[in-house]
Chains A and B, each alone.
Chain A
Amino acid sequence: MSGAPSLWLVGLNHRIAPVAVRERLAFRGEVLPEALRQLRTAAACHEAAILSTCNRVELYLVADHEESEMRRRILTFLTAFHNLAEHDFAPSLYWMREAEAARHLFEVAASIDSQILGETEILSQTRGAFRAASEAGAAGPMLGAIFQRAFFLSKELRGQGGIGHARASVSFAAVKLAEKIFESLKGRRVLVVGTGEMAGGILRTLKAGGVGDAVVLSRTLERAEAFAAAEGGKAGTLDQLPEYLLWADIVLVSTAAPHYLIRPEMVTPVMAKRRGKPLFFIDISVPRNVDPAVNKLDDTFLYDIDDLESVADEGRRVRQEIAEHWRPRLADEAHTLLLRLKDCNTDQTARRLLEHANELRAAEVAALMKGLNLDEAAARKVAHALERFQGRLLHGPLSVLREAAREGDGIGAAQWISRFFHLHQGHGGGEAPKGAPGEGSQNQA
């Protein structure tokens, strides 16, 4: 091993690698503990975590190898673990170090590196990856601090940044529009015309938004009943359409009919009876099943699949803007955190060194006093002399630590000082946990 321990990231994602490559490199949940164990051995690293989702496989490591050595070890591990040829996946890998790697993790957890910006699943997957690493004893203080910061920033981006508020799917666009028409979705009644698969998805999202009863109408009662059984609600046939238009607040149309099923002539008398209660039509059929002229009637709002897509596109654009706005902040956070982690390491080492020296000096002074039987004044002079000697002796190492921390190589300097002076965890009650740089390097050497 050589150099100071660094944060490493090796991985591939949906942007670089096709699913055929991603699936071969994926780590299933049940193999993660064994994979982490093998990775730590193969990479001879202090800390490791593996994030494996359908869109990405990423290895986060804290190790103190040179770059070529690190690459060789990781590639050996991946080829051996997955039984693959290096050329099958190596060109797709991205390699990052230090602040760049931390920034990448922040972006991943905050879902601004995701295929669907602002999605929420990646945060729980990242949490799962860190939990697995912790349980396997592979996560240490550095990965701990970086992952915890990533979780915090992700929460902040969702709350304060509002990335989750911009609707970016057709289903959410439908809910967003319904929320702009109705005061609350709670208790609203949905009429589903047709049994298309997409209608089921939108109905589920509407139900999650609080809508109440649903009625499904289809050409045949059997199909309607099957859909109603799967998604919930009552079933009926298309000839009941006019009566249910009066009953419903939201009409979701998704049939394979090649013509308009709902025309202004059908809706006009219904709207007269509704006395100003708005009616929201969502027509996701292609070809369309609701005559666009229905939108011209008072208190009716008709949105077809293209309209919903454009609302979703707007949501995606907003999310993109939020992501772009947050990227520099995440990069700054990564840089600051890594500097702080390194400073923290040098501070701990300096404190441990001083406490170690104090302990040794106190023991020597006690032994000396016992043998020499000096009077109080002489004993004080001897103690002061030894204290001055200790100060002069440690001046050099402590200055080196300070300078190294300033130059960004604090972890390396701390590691060497620890080795020279045999500083272990017990000395001085330092809080460097298992796997901390310095400790780890001795274990691994």
Chain B
Amino acid sequence: MSPFTLSVLALVFYAAAAGVALGGLRSERLRKGPWLHLGVVLGVALHSASIGLFCAKSETHFFTSLSESLWLFSWALCAAYLVLLAGWAVRSVGAAILPLASALLALSFLLSSSETGPAPANEAAELPVFAVHILSAFLGYALFLIACAASVFYLQAHRLLKRKSFGALFGGLPSLEKLERAATHCSWMGLALFTIAVGTGATMARQTMQEQWYMEPKIWASWATWAVFFVLVLGRLTGRLAGRATAKVILLGAVLVLVTLLIGHPFREEAPPPKTAQAEVRR
């Protein structure tokens, strides 16, 4: 079976699980059934197999094009959500994460059909830490976005409890404490992974880019993201941050994640030319 076929099957399972997660906000039966877990587990397994197969077969640099990045990021989102399901059983967050992952995976299919030829080569992709950087960055971003989704649900549940207005959505939301704990733990795990990503990213940037590598907006945005989540973790550990304040800091961090993702990859062709002669020749 080709990586593409496996990915399409994974998309089917993600989409089905997204449907169950959305329906679960209103239906207790869907919320308590095994279908969400089953869909995500099967989707992640197939998606992992497709990525493994692709890496084994590919002779070019991978995850340097936008379609491949989206393909990997959708996997990271679902894999991180699976960790959340296993550890904290906050199913409702899937109502935000799974549709997003499905949409990103579908978008990656669309983009891959429009992309012609192999992805542009770049020097950073040849460095041994590149795979570690990409994987830790994507998983870190995914965990931050999941923390963001849990925080949005937290704020909504908080608002409904304060206003004493209970619609159909209220029944589908977990407790405030559960949402807060899930958001905090995702932030902690995300920060650990993102620290690796920032560290490896800085190393790669110093090796492959110009002297002023640290002036890149992407790198500033990454550091800002890291700083926000570091403050969050510190605030939680010292007991200075809790409840709605935690959720708001996580939302700020998530905005920075989006900014970082939108600014673009500094190691791509849009980035300043590599400083080594070998890279100049390749270009």
Contact = CB atoms under 8 A, between A and B. Distances in A.
A310 interface: yes
Interface string B33-59: 000000000000000000000000000
Given A160-B29, A299-B242, A278 B162 contact: no
Interface in A57-76: none
Given A295-B162, A301-B161, A180 B175 contact: yes
Contacts of B161: 177, 180-181, 301
B41 to A, nearest CB: 24
B242 A180 contact: no
A276 interface: yes
Nearest to A280: B161
A119 to B, nearest CB: 19
A314 interface: yes
A307 interface: yes
Contacts of A303: 164
A162 B244 contact: no
A180 B176 contact: yes
A183 B173 CA distance: 12
B117 interface: no
Contacts of B241: 276
Contacts of A277: 242
Given A180-B157, A301-B161, A301-B162, A278 B176 contact: yes
Interface in A139-193: 160, 162, 165, 177, 179-183
Interface string A302-322: 010001001100100000000
Interface string A262-295: 0000000000000111100000000000000001
Given A160-B29, A162-B28, A181-B175, A276 B242 contact: yes
Contacts of A314: 166
A434 B263 CA distance: 84
B165 to A, nearest CB: 10
Contact of A182 (B157, B166, B175, B245): B175
Contacts of B3: none
A307 B164 contact: yes
Contacts of B245: 276
A175 to B, nearest CB: 12
Contacts of B242: 275-277, 299
A314 B157 CA distance: 17
A180 B156 CA distance: 12
B170 interface: yes
Contacts, number: 49
A88 interface: no
A260 B170 CA distance: 30
B178 A183 contact: yes
B177 A278 contact: yes
B266 interface: no
A232 B177 CA distance: 27
B175 A183 contact: yes
Nearest to A300: B162
A276 B175 contact: no
A438 to B, nearest CB: 44
Interface string B242-263: 1111100000000000000000
A181 B175 CA distance: 5
Contacts of A364: none
A403 interface: no
Query: Chain B, interface size: which category?
Result: 20 to 34
Query: Chain A, interface size: which category?
Result: 20 to 34
A165 B172 CA distance: 13
Contacts of B177: 181-183, 278
A275 B236 CA distance: 10
Nearest to B157: A180
A275 B176 contact: no
Contacts of B244: 298-299
Nearest to B246: A276
B208 to A, nearest CB: 44
Given A275-B239, A278-B177, A303-B164, A180 B29 contact: no
Contacts of B265: none
A179 B222 CA distance: 38
A179 B178 CA distance: 10
B38 to A, nearest CB: 19
B26 to A, nearest CB: 12
Nearest to A166: B171
A320 to B, nearest CB: 15
A69 B177 CA distance: 66
A276 B176 CA distance: 11
Contacts of A307: 164
Contacts of A183: 175, 177-178, 181
A301 B175 CA distance: 13
Interface string B150-161: 000000010001
A179 B171 CA distance: 11
Contacts of A181: 161, 175-177
Contact of A180 (B173, B181, B239): B173
Nearest to B176: A181
A40 B246 CA distance: 71
Contacts of B181: 183
A183 B164 CA distance: 19
A310 B243 contact: no
Contact of A179 (B175, B240, B246): B175
Contacts of B178: 183
Contacts of B166: 311, 314
Interface string B177-191: 110010000000000
Nearest to B178: A183
Nearest to B242: A276
Of B29, B161, B173, chain A has the most CB atoms within 10 Å of the CB of B161
A295 B163 CA distance: 9
B153 to A, nearest CB: 12
Given A181-B161, A278-B177, 19 more contacts: A179-B175, A180-B170, A180-B173, A180-B175, A181-B177, A182-B175, A182-B176, A183-B178, A275-B239, A275-B242, A276-B246, A278-B176, A298-B244, A299-B242, A299-B243, A299-B244, A301-B161, A301-B162, A310-B164
10 contacts: A165-B28, A179-B175, A180-B170, A181-B176, A183-B175, A183-B178, A275-B239, A278-B176, A301-B161, A303-B164
Across the A-B interface, the 9 shortest Cβ-Cβ residue pairs = A276-B242, A183-B177, A275-B239, A276-B243, A183-B178, A299-B243, A183-B175, A307-B164, A162-B28
